[in-house]
Every structure is written in structure tokens, then in C-alpha cells.
Amino acid sequence: MIKAKITKNIMKKTNNSLGLTPKQMIITGIAFAIGLLMYFLLKNHMNFTLLSTLIFIELAAVICFGVINMQGMSLFEYFVKTMKGVDVRYYKQEGVYMNNVDIQKEEKH
């Protein structure tokens, strides 16, 4: 039988509920508050099925935009950055096919 050493701290223990960060819990709370507000404002004006569908879509959108992270940004920040256009970064290009002669020519100009 093969024996393996395993450390005792395999899982990180967190004090918050369901492994969510405080930011994620606040965003989820805001989403539920908006959902409740929508329910009480629109319950007399809409069919229950349509209203519950709208509330579910609102909850999913707010939670997804606040909780999901892509490339270190929230989904909202990521979409705003992509809508601004091409990310232009100014730097000196030294490609694979450039040699020292090409680099020296660029430095003289």
C-alpha cells in the first residue's frame, strides 16, 4: 500500500457563510432588496408568473454582474472595458524576427 503525507489544513476555513466574500454577500443582499421592491411595487399590476420571471432575471443579472470575475475584474467592469474599444498599450516592440541590427537602427531614428 502506498502512503502519502497529507497536511492537516487541506481546506481553508472561512468565517463567512457559504464561502462568499463580504462584497459578494452585499451584492446578493442588494439584488434581493431590489427583487422585493419590484414584487411589492408591481404585484397588483402584473400576472404573478410574469412578475416572478422578471424578478428572477433581475436577481440573476445583478448577482452575475457583481459576483463573477473575469481577468481580475467584475463582469460589469469587464463589459464596460470591452465596450470602450481596443485596449491600446504603448510599449517598444521587439519581436521574434528582430535582431540587434534592427534594434540599433530603431535607436538611431
The pTM assigned to this predicted structure is 0.55
pLDDT at res. 56: 94
- In one letter, which amino acid is 19? G
pLDDT tens per residue, range 8-46: 665 556 566 677 778 788 888 899 999 999 999 999 999
pLDDT at res. 101: 60
pLDDT tens per residue, range 40-98: 999 999 999 999 999 999 999 888 887 788 777 878 788 888 888 776 666 666 666 65
Domain boundaries, the chain: 21-86
